[in-house]
């Protein structure tokens, strides 16, 4: 049986002028039966179209904050470091993945920029703009749960896990403020932050605010989430 080849958007170290990848993404895909490939930083439409055609699925990874100008806000002092190269690439790549109806999973920053790309917005910093009662920026180790999320019934995540809740890790200071009208929520935190979404009427387009690639070795639920990233699942 042919293994699915999964493309990942690169992490960027601007000081070292390099692109790289956390091993959890690669090892998680391999363990789930796929072959991971890190993409270069590209943004030309012809190249993006060809990339989307060639790969079986995509993971939009974590990383820098998304530039607030993409959701029509001025950058606040408490917004974190930005990465213009990733913003430019992913704002072209994401619509093409959707157009070609390929599986796509967004994780943390990836989750956020899918929402922004589809017209949603973000809190630039939760401590400044939202009243938190749970830890969303946990200290290491990141393979430990930080808080619980409530899974909505009649959603793909509930169908896959057959559970109304799960514990997740949490390594973010931004989050979805307004969810795109093209997306539907799958899970919430106790503070009513959207923690997971899906895009109806497409093959497996989902996003998670937490990091399944960091916790899947200790979490059956997150291991299953990574495995599902490689399948064409109708919503």
pLDDT at residue 134, as a whole number = 87
Q: Which residue has the higher pLDDT, 201 or 76?
A: 76
CA dihedral 6, 104, 201, 115 (to 10 degrees): -170
What pTM did the predictor assign? 0.96
Per the prediction, the chain carries an average pLDDT of 95
Cα 163 to its chain centre, rounded Å, is 21
pLDDT at residue 196, as a whole number = 98
Which of 64, 136, 195, 213 is the catalytic position?
213
pLDDT at residue 135, as a whole number = 79
| Lowest-pLDDT range of 33-37, 105-109, 135-139, 220-224 | 135-139
Decide: 197 and 235 in contact? Cβ < 8 Å. Answer: no
pLDDT at residue 234, as a whole number = 54
Q: Tens digits of per-residue pLDDT, 129-141?
A: 998 888 798 999 9
pLDDT at residue 207, as a whole number = 97
* CA distance linking residue 163 with residue 112, whole number of Å: 24
108 is catalytic: yes
213 is catalytic: yes
Which of 79, 108, 136, 221 is the catalytic position?
108
pLDDT at residue 232, as a whole number = 58
Q: How many residues does the chain have?
A: 235
* Sign of the alpha-carbon torsion through 105, 56, 67, 82: positive
Of all residues in the chain, the percent with pLDDT exceeding 90 is 89
Q: Tens digits of per-residue pLDDT, 62-108?
A: 999 999 999 999 999 999 999 999 999 999 999 999 999 999 999 99
Decide: 166 and 212 in contact? Cβ < 8 Å. Answer: no
Query: Is pLDDT at 233 greater than 70 in this prediction?
Result: no
Which of 83, 117, 211, 221 is the catalytic position?
211
């Amino acid at each position: 049986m042919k293994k699915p080849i999964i493309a990942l958007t690169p992490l960027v170290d601007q000081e070292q002028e390099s692109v790289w990848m956390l091993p959890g993404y690669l090892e998680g895909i391999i363990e789930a039966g796929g072959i991971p490939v890190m993409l270069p930083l590209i943004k030309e439409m012809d190249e993006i179209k060809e990339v989307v055609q060639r790969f079986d699925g995509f993971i939009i990874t974590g990383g820098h904050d998304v530039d607030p100008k993409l959701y029509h806000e001025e950058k606040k002092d408490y917004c974190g470091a930005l990465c213009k190269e990733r913003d430019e690439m992913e704002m072209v790549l994401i619509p093409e993945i959707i157009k070609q109806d390929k599986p796509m999973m967004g994780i943390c920053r990836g989750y956020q920029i899918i929402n922004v790309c589809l017209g949603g917005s973000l809190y630039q910093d939760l401590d400044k703009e939202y009243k938190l009662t749970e830890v969303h920026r946990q200290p290491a180790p990141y393979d430990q749960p930080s808080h619980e999320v409530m899974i909505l019934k009649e959603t793909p995540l509930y169908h896959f896990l057959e559970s109304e809740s799960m514990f997740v890790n949490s390594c973010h200071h931004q989050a979805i403020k307004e969810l795109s009208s093209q997306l539907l929520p799958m899970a919430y935190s106790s503070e009513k932050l959207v923690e997971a979404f899906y895009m109806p009427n497409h093959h497996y387009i989902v996003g998670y605010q937490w990091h399944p690639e960091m916790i899947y070795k200790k979490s059956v639920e997150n291991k299953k989430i990574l495995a599902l990233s490689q399948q064409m699942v109708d919503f």
